[in-house]
Amino acid sequence: MRLSTLAALLGAAALTPCHAFALSDSLGSLGSAAMQELHRTYTDGQPEFLIPGYSWHDPHTYTATKRAQLNDWAIGLGWGHLRTDDEGNTEQVYALAFSDSHHDVEPVVGYAKQWMWRPFTPKLHLGIGYTIGVTSRADTLKNFPFPIALPLLSIGYHNFTLYSTLIPRFNGSPNNGNVVFLFGGLRY
């Protein structure tokens, strides 16, 4: 079994409520509080079907030749639980897998927090926040799982949300980073 597949399965298993409490005992009070919050989001949250869709590669970062080789269509599937707090902000636990820029499967397991704004109607929502999680990539650490922390923006209407995040450029070398990743969420 590929390491990335194993990481996705273990991450998804870690989202289940029984594992959250078992792990919280070994992490101390801060870890316990965080795991209880994840458990609350999972149990009280509304299921959400996630649809990865598109990766935009910055033409100022990537050469035209390299962009022609890259996969823009990040096709995949995901699932999560989204909880809205008393102030209208959201927390989410999720797992998804999609075709990355090099046509390899990239699994991601994570948590997201967004502060929401409903400017015109309660059904229209705009969000800004962050996501943290674990992923693995064939071109980065040879599929060894590593942590991520990324900004997260969203716009949605009623039960559908379009999410976006930016994978920033970390060094000055060409052909890496500055990728905008778009995916949809449908609560049911």
Enumerate domains of the chain plus CATH numbers: 3-187 (2.40.160.20)
The mean pLDDT of the chain is 87
Q: According to the model, what pLDDT value does residue 180 have?
A: 97
Catalytic residues: 57, 100-101
Full-model pTM: 0.83
Q: What's the mean pLDDT in 136-158?
A: 95
Q: According to the model, what pLDDT value does residue 26 have?
A: 56
Asked whether the beta carbons of 64 and 108 are under 8 A apart, the reply is no
**SS3 label, residue 24:** helix
Q: Which residues contact 105 (CB under 8 A, 6 or more apart)?
A: 4, 5, 76, 97, 98, 99
**SS3 label, residue 39:** helix
Q: What's the mean pLDDT in 38-53?
A: 93
